[in-house]
Structure 1
């Protein structure tokens, strides 16, 4: 019997990846609304949002208890919980599942924190690859300016302060994001990312995103069926 990873499922999985401030979350939200207004079955999930794991993650971050390995494992537990309870069941139920970050986020961030790339891939090998992964390739200065303009204060782990890159949170954040960006570029071809110009206007990006999704999937088959 084939595992769920290799079995064709009625639903489709779309993931967006990119730096903080790349615009991916905005574009995924706009895509979600567009699909919903067309009467399609859509489900949205985002990184690090499992209710079961959230308290442990928050406590570990506040007390600075997380080593790179524990940091990675706790996010893997979060992902596994959402995958088993939400993502996989809804794919089996014929939904378009939209993921704001997928396991590629762990591949990039945890590798920067020193985790083995081979180990990281084995950690997430239970999960199927997305049917479409959109990588928002946004120039680092643009992404940084968006984040810093909207954040009165960067959080410790968000800024990569645990890596000891710089005592200044903004400089640490810049160096952290720069390293993450290099990891994304390194995996882009192997992971079949479809690149979106993150410096284009919101409207232009959304047109590209909609065209890609409409071209990749037979969208009318995901409409709600009236009783």
Structure 2
């Protein structure tokens, strides 16, 4: 089955470019487009895309609010890939904190766009971990976020779960973590799922941000 994608951007040329790149791939299909975040929820419910490529800055409803609305209102929400002009942008960080799975630069090469869509659709690795670290260092209170510290403290992660979280923060996939810890991939999936559940995180990115903001992992 192909990965289905909904494009959300107020610039028609951006949508046109993303569609051309993605539809050139046999395993990816663009199922719809929208020009503003306010139109996302009905389209997600109608089209059931696997991934929403969402502009972070739009006139009526920006990508942060649209991300929150989708995750709050849709029973089985799609993965959300924030599309942005600037990598070091507080809007991008807030979208990731809200539950977006990753972000994509508008100037990215075709191969990078395709890789980003495939990676967030699979959901077993962190997209652009170095960039997430940079955003966390700039906007994440540098380990001084009391709410994140409380979340981590109350989670009660086991030693192995803590180890998995640290490796997730380094951007390792389940297969890479399994090789590092000399365990099976299914065991890593189980530990990663437990980490997300205990932290109340929707995805790996949100879990890693909590780890950075609490000081559990240093973003630098």
TM-score by length of 1: 0.34
